[in-house]
A and B are shown apart, each in its own frame.
Chain A
Amino acid sequence: MTDGAPVIQVQDLTRTFGSFVAVDHIRFDVQAGEVFGFLGANGAGKTTAIRMLTGLLVPSGGQARVAGHDVYTASEAIKRSIGYMSQRFSLYEDLTVRENARLYGGIYGLTDDELRDRIGAMLSRLKLEPAADTRVSALPLGWRQKLAFSVALLHRPTIVFLDEPTSGVDPVTRRQFWELIYETARAGTTVLVTTHYMDEAEYCDRISMMVAGRIEALGSPSDLKREFGVRSMDELFVQLARPGAGSPASGSARP
């Protein structure tokens, strides 16, 4: 990857399932160190797009490069270059904090020395040293989320994908989590994040909004609010995700 080139480059990326077009010619770039919000209604195609960008699903058409690697020919190299964290699955609850970190770091091929140094530094940064040998199931949810995020960064990925990382977390912990995101981005790691909290969309440098497989809005929150004449990302979401929403019946248009 050359300096200055976008770390994610997507051109007309498309994925069909039978006759259903889940992702329809989407285009966007993400720059190094950017916090990029990947938004859209349930079923808009976000998950399919993310599965292609993380090397888990082969596209039906179009081009994409992630951390400089082609999604068609270098999916294994992509997997080594990215970190991934989801609210639904992140850590093994029956393993301790340290065991989880060793497991993930080991999967990414870190040496014993690297594991020791990086896990030590991570525990110290999170002030989790006293809990190093505690089973993850005994940690409060907020701590688990912060730990899962840090573990996803152990192998120093170019990009980290966060899939609804703050879902269900209390409002204070949610904000502490976003500070970790900012710190990570300042340190040069690119962050691609999905969320259902529209206030969190405002925390992103840029966002894309997917509607029925296409990207219908792309830009910084302030630019998009100006462009669409709305006051908040929530209003933008309502306006784009379901035109005419507000009357309950409109929901039936897209089951």
Chain B
Amino acid sequence: MTAAAAAARASGLVKRFGDTTALQGISFSVAAGEIFGFLGPDGAGKSTLFRILATLIIPSAGTAEVLGRDVVTQHWDIRARVGYMPGRFSLYPDLSVEENLAFFASVFGTTIVREYERIAPIYSQLEPFKSRRAGALSGGMKQKLALCCALVHRPELLLLDEPTTGVDAVSRREFWELLAQLKTTGLTIVVSTPYMDEADRCDRVALIDGGKILATDTPSAIAGSFGRPLLAVKARDRYRALLILRGFPHLHTVFPFGEVLHYSDERKDAAPEQVAAEVADFLQAKGLEGAEVHPIEAGIEDTFMERLA
């Protein structure tokens, strides 16, 4: 494969299950060596897409290639070259950590010893518990073991379907640090997540919802495409501020956002400072004292919500 070739590519990909259309004609291209993230909620079509790329199901229409090979006609070739971590924990809970890993190695005709160097950064963290049953590991450690098993045959591309779902914030952070380390070895990583705050860990992301891609770009470019004045509103009684802002004549959206509210204005080209002053006056006139209102740059979650609306 040449450097310019895509590591994964889809064109007009459709998948139907009976009356349900899980993927409604999606197209994208993942460059070799990048971390490419699919960001979207449950039911967006992420797992269906990953199962097609892993050659476990075939598309109803459209085409997809992984490492230059067609997912329908060259599936055996793809399977030897990709590592796939399904969304649901899929290791053998009654086998130990070491037995699980040895099993996956043997399926691909190799051994833990032979692959040790490649998996060492992750496996070294699991080794103290190598005799423990996989089912008895914590959520974060299960995910690390699953990652190890997906890596043991030296794949060129990793397909990680929601590796951080249901895992606590610290384990999520550690998992992403491992992915960044793996990227330095030249591995291409295609990953999905429902957590918007993980977008910044990816080189590029596709926002996906309802079986459609809403946007594909770098996280900063997606955030930058928000396209209207956006304000952070800080008030002691956040819920009351929210209800008051619902009555503001130029409101586009208002959402709770961590410790503040994010307010966006329907007047796309209005000066943010001017809008902030109006909103602050409005809150005061409605009896809400001491609210702080100031313009902010949109983040990826703001943009996602804007595209959903």
- Which positions in A face B, CB cutoff 8 Å? 40-43, 140-141, 164, 167-173, 175, 178-179, 182, 186, 196-199, 202-203, 221-222, 232-234, 237-238, 241-242, 245-246, 248-252, 254-255
The interface size bin for chain B is 35 or more
A-B contact pairs, 14 of them (CB 8 A): A41-B140, A41-B170, A42-B168, A140-B43, A169-B41, A175-B255, A186-B239, A196-B169, A242-B170, A248-B121, A248-B181, A251-B171, A252-B126, A252-B129
A208→B16 CA distance, assembly (Å): 45
B11 within 8 A of A: no
A237→B171 CA distance, assembly (Å): 11
Rounded to whole Å, the gap between the CB of A149 and the closest CB of chain B is 16
Q: Are B125 and A248 in contact, CB atoms less than 8 angstroms apart?
A: yes
B217 within 8 A of A: no
Closest to A222 in B: B259
Rounded to whole Å, the gap between the CB of B59 and the closest CB of chain A is 24
A255→B128 CA distance, assembly (Å): 9
Contacting residues, chain B, for A251 (C-beta < 8 A): 125, 140-141, 144, 170-171, 174
Contacting residues, chain B, for A197 (C-beta < 8 A): 195
Closest to B127 in A: A252
Rounded to whole Å, the gap between the CB of A145 and the closest CB of chain B is 10
Rounded to whole Å, the gap between the CB of A210 and the closest CB of chain B is 11
A175→B41 CA distance, assembly (Å): 13
A40→B138 CA distance, assembly (Å): 13
Q: Are A221 and B259 in contact, CB atoms less than 8 angstroms apart?
A: yes
Contacting residues, chain B, for A254 (C-beta < 8 A): 138
Q: Are B129 and A168 in contact, CB atoms less than 8 angstroms apart?
A: no
When the two chains form the complex, which single residue of B174, B194, B195 contacts A248, counting CB atoms closer than 8 Å? B174
When the two chains form the complex, which single residue of B43, B44, B140 contacts A42, counting CB atoms closer than 8 Å? B140
A20→B113 CA distance, assembly (Å): 34
Chain B 281-308, CB within 8 Å of chain A: the 1/0 string? Answer: 0000000000000000000010011001
Q: Are B169 and A237 in contact, CB atoms less than 8 angstroms apart?
A: yes
Q: Are A167 and B165 in contact, CB atoms less than 8 angstroms apart?
A: yes
